Amino acid sequence: MENTDVHQKKAQILIVDDQAANLRILSAMLMKQGYEVRAVTSGSSALKSIELDPPDIILLDICMPGMDGYEVCQTLKDRESTQDIPIIFITALDEMVDKVRAFRLGAADYITKPFQMEEVLIRVENQLSIKRTREALQQSEARYRAIIEDQTELICRFQLDYTLTFVNQTFCRAFGRVPEDVIGQPVVDFFPDQQSVQQCAMQLHKLTTDDPFCINEHRIVNDQGDSRWIEWTTRAIFDMQGNISEFQAVGRDVTEQLQSEAERRKLQRAVEQSPTSIVITDIDGVIEYVNPKFTQLTGYTFAEARGSNPNILKAGDTAITAYQELWETIKSGRAWHGEFHNRRKTASSSGNLPRSRLSLIMTVRSPILSPLKKILPSAKLWKRNLNEHASKPKLQPAPNPSFSPI
C-alpha cells in the first residue's frame, strides 16, 4: 500500500510501548510508508521526547508500568502546546480497557494487537488528514480575522437573542471597550435610541434567503461621550434548513456625511428662499440653475431657463464689449461687479426690468448646487435688488463672495 503523499511522508509519528517487539513491528510498518518514526518505552520518556520535538501523531500503549497511557494522555491534553496532537491508543484484544475513559481524556482513536497493517495505516492516515484539515481551517480563520481586524468599519456578529459572539477592534475602540467585555453582551445595549432598535429588530426577523440584507442608521455614544451616527449593513446567516442562525453587521461612521448633508440642505433652502435672484451657469454661459426669485422677477421658469443663455434677459442697450469684459474677468478667477439693464420674459419694452447692479464670480466648486468634483468655472450670478431703481445707492459686495449673495 505505497503512498506518495508528500505531507504523509514528512509526518512524524511517536510510538510509546513498553514491549520492544511491538515497537519494531509498528516502526517497520510505518517507515515503509514514508513516515518519520521514533519510539520510546515509557510514559515519562514519551513526555520528554514530546517536549523537545512534538510529533504529528502519537501511538500510545494504554497498559504500561509506571505512568500508563491514560496518565500520559491526560498530561498532554492539559498542556496548550500539545493538546491538539492526535493520540491513537494501542490495546490488546484480551485487555480489559476503558475505551470510554480514553475518549473522554481526548483520544482520537485506538488500534488493537495483534496489528493489522491495513487497519493501522488507515487509522493513522485518517487522523493525519483530520489534523491537516483542522490546521488549514485555523490558518484560514487567522487570515480572515487579520483582514477583519484591519478594517476601519465596525464589524460584529450576534445571535437571534442579540448576544454578541464576535467584534473586531474597530467596534471595541468605538466604545472604549475590550473584546472580553463585549462578547456575550446584547448588541442592543450599545444603542441608546431604543425606538430605532425596535424598528430594526422587526426588519431583521423578516429577512429571507432571497433578501438577506437590511440597512439602518443608529446613534451610538463613544467612550468620550460624543454621539456618532453609524450606518449598519446587517446580513442574516442561515442554517442548512434555511432558518436564521445569526446576524453579521458592518457599521460605517456617517456622522460627518450626515452633517454635511444637513449643511447643504440649509444652504440650498437659503438659496431657494433668497429674496435675491440667483443664476448659475457653466463656463460657456449655459444656465444650470435659477432660484424661485429669478422666476418671479423675470417670468422664466426653471425649466425654461435651464439650458438657455443669460442673453435671454438682454434689453439690447448694453454694448457687447461689456459682456466680453464680464466673461474675461470671471474666467480669470476674479469677481466682476457692474450694472446691466435686463428684461422680463415679455418681449415688449414695457417688460424691461429696472437697471440692476450685478456681481459675478467664478467658482471651482459649489457645495450645494453641483455634484462633488464637478468643475464649475461658472458665473454665479447673484442679482441683488432687481426691483430697485438704478438711481438708488449701490449696495456693497457681501463680505464672503465665495458663497454669500454678491
| Sequence ranges of the domains in the chain | 6-146, 154-253, 263-384
Fold of 154-253: Beta-Lactamase (3.30.450)
Residue 251 is inside which H or E element, if any? strand 244-253
* CA-to-CA dists, residue 358 to 79, 321, 332, 385, 389, angstroms: 85, 16, 18, 9, 13
Query: What is the Cα–Cα distance from 357 to 273, expressed in whole angstroms?
Result: 20
Q: What is the structure's pLDDT at 10? A: 74
Q: Are strands 227-238 and 213-221 parallel, antiparallel or unpaired?
A: antiparallel
Q: What is the structure's pLDDT at 350? A: 47
Q: What is the structure's pLDDT at 129? A: 92
What is the full per-residue pLDDT of the chain (406 aa) written as tens digits?
444 444 445 799 999 999 999 999 999 999 999 999 999 999 999 999 999 999 999 999 998 999 999 999 999 999 999 999 999 998 875 566 677 888 889 999 989 888 888 999 999 999 999 999 988 888 887 777 777 777 889 999 999 999 999 999 999 988 888 989 999 999 988 888 888 888 888 889 889 999 999 998 888 887 778 888 999 999 999 998 889 999 999 999 998 888 888 888 888 888 888 888 888 887 777 888 888 988 888 888 989 889 888 777 776 777 778 777 877 777 777 777 766 667 777 655 445 555 454 444 444 433 333 322 222 333 333 333 333 333 444 333 333 333 333 3
Cell numbers describing residue 72:
500520559
Instruction: Please give the full DSSP string across 219-248, using - where no structure is assigned.
Output: EEE-TTS-EEEEEEEEEEEE-TTS-EEEEE
The CATH number for 6-146, chosen from 3.30.1370.160, 3.40.50.2300, 3.10.20.740, 3.50.50.60, is 3.40.50.2300
- pTM reported for the whole predicted model: 0.50
Query: Please, which residues have CB within 8 angstroms of residue 273's CB and are 6 or more apart in sequence?
Result: 292
Q: What is the DSSP letter of 81?
A: T
Among 372, 158, 337, smallest CA distance to 260 is for 372
Check for a shared fold between 154-253 and 263-384: yes
Q: What is the structure's pLDDT at 376? A: 32
Assigned CATH class of 263-384: alpha beta
Residue 189 is inside which H or E element, if any? none
CA dihedral 181, 182, 186, 192 (to 10 degrees): 100
SS3 content of the chain, % helix, strand, coil (to 5): 35, 25, 40
